[in-house]
């Protein structure tokens, strides 16, 4: 089984733009991330929740595509 990595980005809960995380700093539960676009503070835990949901969707979509491809191959 191939190992596939998913790129999940953290998006501002207010304006939807991608949050540029400060690479020098490690964020952890309870932290607030300031959006560089709108200046709103995003709750880290909420962001992780959203990203986790997004990740599940991406994984489900990928799995479906893989299954479809395998079925197509099997039918040839």
- Binding stretches for Zn ion (CB under 5 A): 12, 14-15, 35, 37-38
- Least distance from Zn ion to the Cβ atom of residue 8, Å: 17
Return the number of the residue (12 or 47) whose C-beta is nearest Zn ion: 12
List CB contacts of 55: < 8 A, sequence separation 6 or more: 6, 8
Return the number of the residue (32 or 67) whose C-beta is nearest Zn ion: 32
Contact 42, 13 (CB under 8 A): yes
Return the number of the residue (11 or 58) whose C-beta is nearest Zn ion: 11
Contact 44, 28 (CB under 8 A): yes
């Amino acid at each position: 089984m191939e190992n596939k990595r998913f790129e999940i980005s953290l998006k501002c809960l207010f304006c939807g733009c991608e949050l540029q995380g400060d690479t020098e700093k490690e964020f952890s539960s309870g932290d607030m991330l300031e959006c560089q676009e709108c200046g709103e503070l995003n709750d880290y835990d909420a962001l992780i929740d959203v990203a986790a949901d997004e990740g599940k969707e991406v994984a489900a979509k990928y799995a479906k595509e893989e299954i479809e491809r395998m079925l197509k191959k099997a039918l040839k």
